[in-house]
């Protein structure tokens, strides 16, 4: 394990001690139930005041990439609210503790953002708890592999779009009146938006939509001083993959076909989200930052 995110370890060998041989879990999966724990940067992320005094809401901030972002944001000086499903209380509780350990305000918002009314209420709760909002990270997602289109139910198709696309729209629309020049919105898309897998038709389609939403809205909000960007992870070791995102038999090899030859860890995503949230990315608008171990994207 690295001392911090600034080491020059061989990136092809970094985190090679973490195996991806998890036992399958029910969705939503838990970080605390992964056989080999994902690295969220809890032992390695070192902040440098890049988000001092900012107020951030991160959906899916209980586990995986969102949790790594929550830890990094708190260490960069931000107060952080996280939204997640009620079944994920155990993971959320741990991340809330890590945010508070930095002396920052942390707020937990359990509930289902695939429902319009709840999604809108998340913004009100976050604004009240943090005393405002400067950073919105739309990161929550549903991913369930289905090999044949004939077996992809209307219910799953609908819920994948509600969770990944509609919730992003509802949350962003509700957040806008609270944002001011200098605020940022960051959406988590995916490598699936460039090279979709055969068994992820619904999920990959939502990730294409997130890229389009990001680039269109970015142009609309740029004149107001609000920047919208996205991050596109490649294969990352998180509970999403161990709870139906991939076939269980695919997990041991997950990520090994990337040019770096290994799966990525949530800790390796956090610096991209910090960069896009901080003022140092002031001329970066409508961009999708790929963090995928080297797979080419158009
Ligand atoms: P994760 O399971 O740790 O995080 C996803 C989170 O989404 C869950 O923790 C859950 O809290 C939240 N969520 C799902 N449905 C919800 C609902 N209805 N209401 C409220 N919250 C809900 O997995 P992750 O891999 O860290 O996923 C984070 C993001 O990264 C997602 O957008 C995912 O599509 C994206 N991504 C992941 C990978 C990967 O390989 N892990 C690759 C590309 C993109
Ligand atoms: Mg989770």
1-22 pLDDT, tens digit each: 457 888 899 999 999 899 887 7
Q: Where residue 27 falls among pLDDT bands split at 50, 70, 90?
A: very high
Averaged pLDDT for residues 117-123: 98
Give the active site residues.
Answer: 203
CA dihedral 90→277→297→193, nearest 10 degrees, is 50
Structure tokens at 61: 């901030």
Return the domain boundaries, the chain: 42-291
Nearest CA to ligand 1 atom 9: 60
Question: Is residue 162 lining ligand 1, measured as CB closer than 6 Å?
Answer: no
Nearest CA-CA partner of 224 in 276, 171, 178, 189:
178
Q: Which residues pair with 236 in a beta bridge?
A: 264
**Angular region, 189: left φ>0, alpha ψ -120 to 50, beta rest:** beta
Q: What rounded mean pLDDT belongs to the chain?
A: 96
- Please give the distance, rounded to the nearest whole angstrom, from the Cα atom of residue 37 to the centre of ligand 2: 13
Rounded to whole angstroms, the Cα distance separating 95 from 98 reads 5
Lowest mean pLDDT among 1-10, 105-114, 147-156, 164-173: 1-10
Question: Is residue 138 lining ligand 1, measured as CB closer than 6 Å?
Answer: no
- What pLDDT score does 217 carry? 99
pTM for this prediction: 0.98
**Angular region, 16: left φ>0, alpha ψ -120 to 50, beta rest:** alpha
What are the distances in angstroms from CA 76 to CA 33, 266, 278?
28, 17, 10
- What pLDDT score does 2 carry? 53
By percentage, how much of the chain surpasses pLDDT 90?
94
Question: Is residue 187 lining ligand 1, measured as CB closer than 6 Å?
Answer: no
Q: Is the pLDDT of residue 23 over 90?
A: no
Instruction: Say if domain 42-291 classifies as CATH 3.40.50.720.
Output: yes
Rounded to whole angstroms, the Cα distance separating 9 from 2 reads 8
- Please give the distance, rounded to the nearest whole angstrom, from the Cα atom of residue 104 to the centre of ligand 1: 24
Residues in the chain: 298
Strands 184-188 and 227-233 come out as parallel
Exposed e or buried b per residue across 142-171, where buried means at least 16 C-beta atoms within 10 angstroms of its C-beta: bbbbbeeeeebeeeebebbbbbbbbbbebb
Question: Is residue 214 lining ligand 1, measured as CB closer than 6 Å?
Answer: no
CA atoms within 13 A on the CB side of 30: 12
The minimum-distance atom of ligand 1 relative to the CA of 113 is 19
What are the distances in angstroms from CA 221 to CA 92, 215, 253?
32, 10, 41
Nearest CA to ligand 1 atom 8: 60
47-87 pLDDT, tens digit each: 999 999 999 999 999 999 999 999 999 999 999 999 999 99
């Amino acid at each position: 394990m690295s001392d911090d995110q600034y080491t020059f370890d061989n990136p092809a060998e970094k985190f090679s001690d973490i195996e991806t041989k998890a036992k399958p879990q029910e969705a939503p999966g838990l970080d605390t139930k992964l056989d080999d724990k994902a690295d969220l940067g809890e032992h390695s992320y070192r902040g440098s005041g890049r988000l001092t005094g900012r107020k951030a809401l991160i959906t899916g901030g209980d586990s995986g990439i969102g949790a790594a972002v929550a830890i990094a944001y708190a260490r960069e000086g931000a107060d952080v609210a996280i939204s997640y499903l009620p079944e994920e209380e155990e993971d959320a509780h741990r991340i809330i503790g890590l945010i508070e350990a930095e002396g920052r305000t942390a707020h937990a918002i359990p509930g289902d953002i695939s429902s319009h009314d709840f999604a809108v209420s998340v913004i009100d709760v976050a604004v009240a708890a943090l005393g405002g909002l400067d950073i919105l990270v739309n990161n929550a997602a549903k991913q369930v592999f289905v090999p044949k289109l004939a077996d992809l139910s209307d219910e799953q198709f609908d819920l994948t779009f509600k969770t990944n696309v509609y919730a992003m729209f509802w949350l962003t629309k509700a957040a806008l009146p609270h944002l001011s020049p200098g605020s940022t919105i960051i959406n988590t898309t995916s490598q699936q938006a460039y090279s979709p897998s055969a068994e992820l038709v619904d999920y990959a389609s939502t990730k294409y939509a997130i890229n389009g939403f990001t680039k269109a809205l970015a142009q609309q909000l740029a004149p107001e001083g609000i920047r919208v960007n996205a991050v596109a992870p490649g294969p990352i070791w998180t509970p999403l993959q161990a709870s139906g995102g991939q076939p269980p038999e695919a997990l041991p090899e997950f990520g090994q076909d990337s040019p770096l030859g290994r799966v990525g860890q949530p800790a390796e995503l956090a610096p991209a989200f910090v960069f896009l949230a901080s003022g140092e990315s002031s001329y970066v608008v409508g961009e999708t930052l790929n963090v995928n171990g080297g797979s080419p994207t158009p």
